[in-house]
Amino acid sequence: MSLNYYNPLMTEAHEAFRLRVRSFAESEIKPVAGELDNTATFSVDITRKMGQIGLLGMTAPAEYGGKNMDTLSYIIAVEELARIDASQAATVAAHNSLGIGPIVKYGTETQKQEFLPRLLSGEGLWAFGLTEPNAGSDANNTETTAVREGDFWVINGNKIFITNSASPLAAGATLQVVTGEKDGRKELTVILVDRNTPGYSCEPITNKMVWRAADTGRLFFNNMRVPVANTLGEVGHGPHIMLETLDSGRLSIAAMGLGLAQGAFEMALDYASKRVQFGKPIMKYQAVSFKLSDMALKIELARNLLYKACWQKDQKLPFGKEAAMAKLYCSEIAKEVADEALQIHGAYGMVRDSPIERFYRDQRILQIGEGTSEILRLVISRHIGIK
Ligand SMILES: Cc1cc2nc3c(=O)[nH]c(=O)nc-3n(C[C@H](O)[C@H](O)[C@H](O)COP(=O)(O)OP(=O)(O)OC[C@H]3O[C@@H](n4cnc5c(N)ncnc54)[C@H](O)[C@@H]3O)c2cc1C
């Protein structure tokens, strides 16, 4: 293995794929990542290029235009993008895991034929609309309603902080909505909604601290009429579909943590070899070299945990606990590694021109999105039998 990332779960094909994505990220994304972040610009051009090299439909079946790759290949791609730029990794991860994932898993043949080809080619991006102003971690507190009128749902409400929902490439979203009440609880259902539906509007959320070159938006629905045929899965199965989607999504957030940590570590190692104080490179001081050793150790552990969770998914074994653990661990070590990498850069890491400053900010969403670290500990505690 050329990159010294030996892992028993990786094949030569995985390694070759990693090198292809790495080469793309270094040549196409790295030169512009700082500027896109500074100006908070979502790049249609880079997104289209990511589509052209197959990154926008990696695990979907070939018959609809997907690449039919295994989970580990997809995770390696997200990891490699995040090693260079978290924003582009976020665009790809949200589209593959949260956008396409549930359509592939729960869509009818007609829905797959209608939605997948244009999403898998990268012509459009698909969003996952779960979060609302009063429904964050408590996703079952959805307030957006869908009332049935003949063959249509009439949808009213709004969603907030939705990735890939407001750029020119945003094509629509999978929404969790309240369709009634059952046993004293909200009946929650998932519906696919095209952006061009009358009553659908979106607006970008600007001035974010993180993922400034990724598209995050708000969605508003005003008496929007959507065919009942767009219901994904069965009426009332919303929480099951959304939670299963999040299990897979968590693998890609973990990959973002791992890739970001790898990138921050490499920057710190390089800087520590060049920065001379008291007559020698600072990496010669044990206080600095021990920091770098701890970073390398955390990254190794994170990679092993994440790849094992991917392997379980590919073997069709339960992987919810491992996905939660990988997401929690990889996002937490991304914070620790980025923090120590910044420390090694000293004052030079604190200026906007320094990539490590961007990495230090971008890691912060990873402990919040798709299950906060607190909620993930709750998920893990249930998996280990704590009621
Ligand atoms: C850049 C960005 C992109 C996003 N993309 C998407 C997307 O594509 N789709 C989507 O649906 N959402 C998306 N989100 C939303 C994200 O998933 C939510 O922010 C997340 O689920 C947490 O919800 P919240 O922010 O409302 O926090 P809250 O749920 O209000 O939590 C606030 C704090 O309280 C803690 N807390 C809450 N409940 C408990 C509890 N029971 N026990 C212990 N602690 C608790 C939390 O851990 C947290 O620390 C995105 C967010 C951001 C910032």
**Mean pLDDT, residues 277-291:** 98
Tell me what pLDDT residue 3 has: 63
Closest atom, ligand 1, to C-alpha of 214:
1
Q: How many domains does one find in the chain?
A: 3
Provide DSSP, 296-343. HHHHHHHHHHHHHHHHHHHTT---HHHHHHHHHHHHHHHHHHHHHHHH
Residue 118 has pLDDT above 90, yes or no: yes
Confidence of residue 1 (pLDDT cuts 50, 70, 90): very low
228 shares its domain with 258: no
263 shares its domain with 374: yes
Per-residue b or e along 185-201, where b marks 16 or more CB atoms closer than 10 Å to that residue's CB: ebebbbbbbbbeeeebe
Q: Is 382 helix (H, G, I), strand (E, B) or coil?
A: helix
Q: How far is the CA of 311 from the centre of ligand 1 (A)?
A: 27
Ligand 1, residues 372, 378, 380, 381: which to mutate, most atoms within 8 A of Cβ? Answer: 372
76 shares its domain with 149: no
Q: Which domain holds residue 229?
A: 126-237
233 shares its domain with 245: no
Tell me what pLDDT residue 122 has: 86
**Mean pLDDT, residues 359-363:** 98
User: Parallel, antiparallel, or unpaired: how do β-strands 170-182 and 185-194 relate?
Assistant: antiparallel
**CATH classification at residue 181:** 2.40.110.10
Which of 222, 237, 252 is where one domain is finished? 237
**Mean pLDDT, residues 137-150:** 97
331 shares its domain with 232: no
Which of 120, 139, 163 is where one domain is finished? 120
Q: How far is the CA of 246 from the centre of ligand 1 (A)?
A: 13
**Mean pLDDT, residues 235-249:** 95
**Mean pLDDT, residues 152-159:** 98
4, part of any domain: no
254 shares its domain with 371: yes
Type and span of the H or E element at 126: strand 125-129
* CA distance linking residue 96 with residue 67, whole number of Å: 11
Residue 387 has pLDDT above 90, yes or no: no
Model pLDDT for residues 312-341, shown as the tens digit of each residue: 999 999 999 999 999 999 999 999 999 999
Residue 238 has pLDDT above 50, yes or no: yes
Mean pLDDT value across the chain = 96
Tell me what pLDDT residue 186 has: 97
Which amino acid, one-letter code, is at 274? K
244 shares its domain with 231: no
Comparing C-alpha atoms, which of 193, 194, 197 is closest to residue 177?
193
State how far the alpha carbon of 190 is from the alpha carbons of 7, 55, 213, 238, in Å: 38, 26, 28, 5
Going by alpha carbons, the residue nearest to atom 40 of ligand 1 is: 375
Place of tokens 């519906």: 191
What phi and psi values does residue 197 have, to the nearest 5 degrees? -65, 130
370 is catalytic: yes
Q: How far is the CA of 328 from the centre of ligand 1 (A)?
A: 14
In percent, the amount of the chain with pLDDT more than 70 equals 99
218 shares its domain with 246: no
Confidence of residue 5 (pLDDT cuts 50, 70, 90): confident
293 shares its domain with 328: yes
Token pair in block for residue 330: 């990889």
Residue 4 has pLDDT above 80, yes or no: no
79 shares its domain with 140: no
Residues 6+ apart with CB under 8 A from 364: 209, 210, 335
Residues having CB within 6 Å of any atom of ligand 1? 94, 98, 127-131, 136-137, 161-163, 210-211, 216, 365, 368-370, 372, 374-375
State how far the alpha carbon of 385 is from the alpha carbons of 75, 238, 316, 375, 382, in Å: 29, 24, 22, 16, 5
225 shares its domain with 268: no
3, part of any domain: no
Place of tokens 């790049």: 43
Residue 6 has pLDDT above 90, yes or no: no
Closest atom, ligand 1, to C-alpha of 165:
8
Residues 6+ apart with CB under 8 A from 6: none
Residue 2 has pLDDT above 80, yes or no: no
Model pLDDT for residues 45-71, shown as the tens digit of each residue: 999 999 999 999 999 999 999 999 999
